[in-house]
Structures are given as structure tokens and as C-alpha cells.
Amino acid sequence: MADKQGRVRRSLIRVISDDNLDLYLLGTVALVFTVLGITGISDVKTTSAVVVALLALLAFSQIRSRRLLEQIRNEQRGGATALFSREFPADLIPRRAQAHDLLLVGLSLSRTVHGMRSEMATILAAGGRIRVLVLDPADEALVEVADRRITASLGAGKLRSRITATLDDLTAMRERIGGRLEVRVASVIPSAGFSCLDVEGVRGLICVQHYEHHASGEAAPIFTLQRADGAWYQHFVAEAERMWDAGTEWPLSPADAAARARRPVFSTEFGPELDTAMDGTADLLVTGVARSIFVNNNYRRLEKKLLAGQKIRFVVADPDSPAIDMAADRYHPSRTPESFRERIEHVLRLLAELKATTGGDVSVRLTTHLVSLFQIVTDTALFAEYYVYKDLAKPKFVLSAGTEGYETFRTEARKLWDSAKPYEL
């Protein structure tokens, strides 16, 4: 009996507290008086009064519903205000310092990396993982576009300097501390900066900063999402991970450095990518008339390559061939055949000295062909310099491996090597 009374009491409580109680009453009363009116038990006067009362109750129910809708709209408007901010969350820095798995994505991240040096060292020493992705400073066009976009007052070249400083700091930290510090550079300009903290854990957090055009102060809006935010949390985490996957490891490989070097079709000097490509190739092939300046300037680099067991090949003009007289007449306004021969003999002595002191794999061949192009052929790029008719000007150009031009000129250099006469150093 007591259980039955308890169930009845709980049922009454559920009905009374139900948000749809007014609708239940309206439906019940309308049904009862419809039946009473049809059977003639209720007169017209009573039925009319009940109908008016039902309309009044319905009006109050509509007012209540509209208030609830307005409350929902206000809460939604307040939600956007609560989500977006012009400043980073106050707890972002301490939470970032306590993270075990950290992914940072941004344009230069100079302030972040500079301000987190000690914290990053602690994370790495504890076995944590840190990944950093910034713009590729070797892509001049990309950095110029980003420089113009982010602010009108930063100034030309400043963004590149900040990126380079960040990469230098991270490289020095990795050499000093070790650990799982990974650095990559991006070939696209991100639309936002990301701080991803332990995103695979239950306390995962991602802070997103929108990069507005020509921001006068801190770029905004800034917002944070946690794992409890569900789909949108996963959405932004996935975007940051896709950008990381598309990045290129830093320092750049010789192939990547050569591919990113932007220059006119011809230039007066080779850039730093020449040294990088020469150091990174296991088989260096050099062709030219004499190449005394090249050997003098790169003597230590060539010595180091030979000591490391790498291969070096040279093709120069045969000093006893008619090609010397033709070269003197065509290529240099003031050089005589005798001076050309002296320069070639000087190069041969230097290369013989390198072979004797290092015991390395250096070989020379002499060609009777009138060489029109000085070439430095590496695995990742080909560096060429034209000999201009009776002029000191030497237009230079670079071809990256994998391009049609690279294959064409490399084939020419190899044919020149194959047809040349071996010289005993």
C-alpha cells in the first residue's frame, strides 16, 4: 500500500513539474467540454465561458514560450562574446609550461619561443615532445606576402629576421639539450596561430589566434577549445596537424634549399645554396677552362669532402690543345694563351696536392673542346656560369634537380667528362 502511494505521489510530482503542464490542461479541458457540449450536459453560456478561459490560458502559454525563446537567443549571443577575446587566456602560459606534448604553429613565434626557453628546456628534459612550425624564411616570395599582410608598420625584412632568430634559438636548443624537439617550416601562410597542448589527453587544449589583416595591436579574435567542446575541438586540432604534416624539416636539405632559392634567370653571384649543395653531394663534377679561382676559394671545402670519402671530378682544358688559343681569343679581353696555361697548371698542382695529402678520390680529365660553360654539378642542383665573348661579365644561373634544364646540362657535363682524356695527378 505504501509503495502504491509513493508511486502515485512521484507521478503527481512529475506531472506538476512538467514544462508542458499548461498544454496538458488545455487539451484535457477542451476535450471534456467538447463531450459535454455534444451530449447537451453543458449549456452554451458555460461552454462559451470555458472557451474564453482556455484562450486566456493559451495566451499565457505563448508569452511563456516567447520568453524562453528570447532567453535562448540571449544566451547564444552571450556565448560568442564569452568564446572570443582580444587577449590570450591568463592560464595559457602556465598550462603550456606544464604540457608534455606541445605543437606551436605561427608566422615567426619569436615572442613565444623567446619567452618559453626555460619551460621548453624543462619539457624536453622530462621526455616531452615539442613541435614548432613557422614560415619558411628561404621562400622570399612567401615571406614578402606575409610581411605585407600582418602589419603595415613591421617593415621590410623584419619578419624574416624574426623567423631566422626563432629557428636559430630552436637549433641551438636542440644541439644543447637534445630531446624530442622537432622544427619545420611552412610553404603556406597560416590563417591563424595555434598552441596545441596535450591534444590527445583528457585535458587537451588548443588556443587559436586569428591573423587579421594589418592588425593595429594583438591580432584577434583569440579563443580556446577543450576536448569537451567536441567536434570543433577536433576540427582545429586536425587543421594544425595537417599544417604540420605539410611542413618541411629544418634545417633544409640541400635539395629543398636549392628549390626555394628565388633569383632572376641570370645573376652576378651564386647564393649560399651553392655551398650547401656542394657539401651535401657525394659526387661533385666541375667543368671549365681553368677554374683556378674556384679551387683557390674552395680548397678547404674540397679537402674536407675528400677526407669524408666523397668523390670529386674536374674537367679542364688541355693546356697543349688549340682550345687554349681559342679561349684566350674569345673569353677574356686581356688574358693570353700563356696565362691560361699557367692557370691550368696551377689548378693541376693544387688538385695533385689535395690527392696526395688526403688520399681521396679526386680525378681530372683534359678536354680539347672549347668549353663555353663553367658548371658545378651536384645531386640537388646545377650551378652554371657562361663565358661571355671578350667581356668580364659572367652571367650565372641555377637549375634544381628534377627539372628538364638540370637534366640537359648535367648530361652535357657528363658527355664532356666521358670524351675527355684522363690526367694522372
Q: For the ranges 42-56, 146-160, 308-322, which has the lowest average pLDDT?
A: 42-56
Closest listed residue to residue 344, CA positions, set 293, 399, 285: 293
Residue at grid coordinates 594589418: 214
Assigned C-alpha cell, 65: 514560450
Name the residue with higher pLDDT: 263 or 46: 46
Mean pLDDT of 331-341: 86
pLDDT tens digits for range 193-237: 999 999 999 999 999 999 988 777 778 899 999 998 899 999 999
* pLDDT for residue 66 is more than 80: no
Q: What percent of the chain has pLDDT above 70?
A: 78
Closest listed residue to residue 102, CA positions, set 84, 127, 85: 127
Q: What distance, in Å, lies between the first and last C-alpha atoms of the chain?
A: 116
Residues with Cβ < 8 Å from 153, sequence gap 6 or more?
A: none
* pLDDT for residue 80 is more than 60: no
Q: Band of the pLDDT at 61, cuts 50, 70, 90?
A: low
Assigned C-alpha cell, 7: 508511486
Q: Is 252 helix (H, G, I), strand (E, B) or coil?
A: coil
Give the per-residue pLDDT at 142: 86
Q: Band of the pLDDT at 7, cuts 50, 70, 90?
A: low
Query: How many CB atoms sit inside 10 A of residue 354's CB?
Result: 21
CA–CA distance, 335 with 340 (Å, rounded to integer): 7
Give the per-residue pLDDT at 77: 45
Residues with Cβ < 8 Å from 96, sequence gap 6 or more?
A: 102, 116, 119, 195, 197
Note whether 204 and 184 are within 8 A (CB). Answer: no
Q: For the ranges 78-82, 165-169, 209-213, 378-382, which has the lowest average pLDDT?
A: 78-82
Give the per-residue pLDDT at 220: 85
Assigned C-alpha cell, 241: 596537424
Mean pLDDT of 334-355: 94
CA–CA distance, 418 with 399 (Å, rounded to integer): 22
* pLDDT for residue 300 is more than 70: yes
The two beta strands, 421-423 and 361-367, are antiparallel
pLDDT tens digits for range 93-132: 899 999 999 999 999 999 999 999 999 999 999 999 999 9
* pLDDT for residue 78 is more than 60: no
User: Does CATH number 3.30.870.10 belong to domain 261-423?
Assistant: yes
Give the per-residue pLDDT at 263: 57
Give the per-residue pLDDT at 24: 64
Note whether 273 and 257 are within 8 A (CB). Answer: yes
Domain 92-249 is classified in which CATH homologous superfamily?
A: Endonuclease Chain A (3.30.870.10)
| 3-state per-residue secondary structure call for 356-395 | HHHCCEEEEEEECCCCCEEEEECCCEEEEEECCCCCCCCC
The two beta strands, 129-135 and 101-105, are parallel
Mean pLDDT of 319-340: 89
Q: For the ranges 40-49, 131-140, 352-361, which has the lowest average pLDDT?
A: 40-49
Residues with Cβ < 8 Å from 299, sequence gap 6 or more?
A: 350, 354
Question: Which amino acid, 163?
Answer: I
CA–CA distance, 227 with 38 (Å, rounded to integer): 60
Residue spans per domain, the chain: 2-83, 92-249, 261-423
Q: b/e map of 124-162 (b: 16 or more CB within 10 Å)?
A: beeebebbbbbbbbbbeebbeebbebbbeeeeeeebbeb
Torsions phi, psi for 105 (to 5 deg): -130, 130
Mean pLDDT of 400-420: 92
Give the per-residue pLDDT at 397: 93
Q: Is 311 helix (H, G, I), strand (E, B) or coil?
A: strand
Assigned C-alpha cell, 218: 594583438
CA–CA distance, 216 with 153 (Å, rounded to integer): 9
The two beta strands, 283-287 and 311-317, are parallel
Assigned C-alpha cell, 14: 512529475
Tally of CA atoms within 13 A in the half-sphere of 214 that contains its CB:
3
* pLDDT for residue 375 is more than 90: yes
Give the per-residue pLDDT at 60: 67
Give the per-residue pLDDT at 1: 54
Q: Could you check whether 92-249 and 261-423 share the same CATH topology?
A: yes
Closest listed residue to residue 267, CA positions, set 354, 395, 174: 395
Give the per-residue pLDDT at 260: 74
Name the residue with higher pLDDT: 279 or 14: 279
Helix 2-17 × helix 21-39 angle, to 10°: 100
Note whether 229 and 248 are within 8 A (CB). Answer: no
Q: Band of the pLDDT at 158, cuts 50, 70, 90?
A: confident
Note whether 347 and 314 are within 8 A (CB). Answer: yes
Mean pLDDT of 152-160: 67
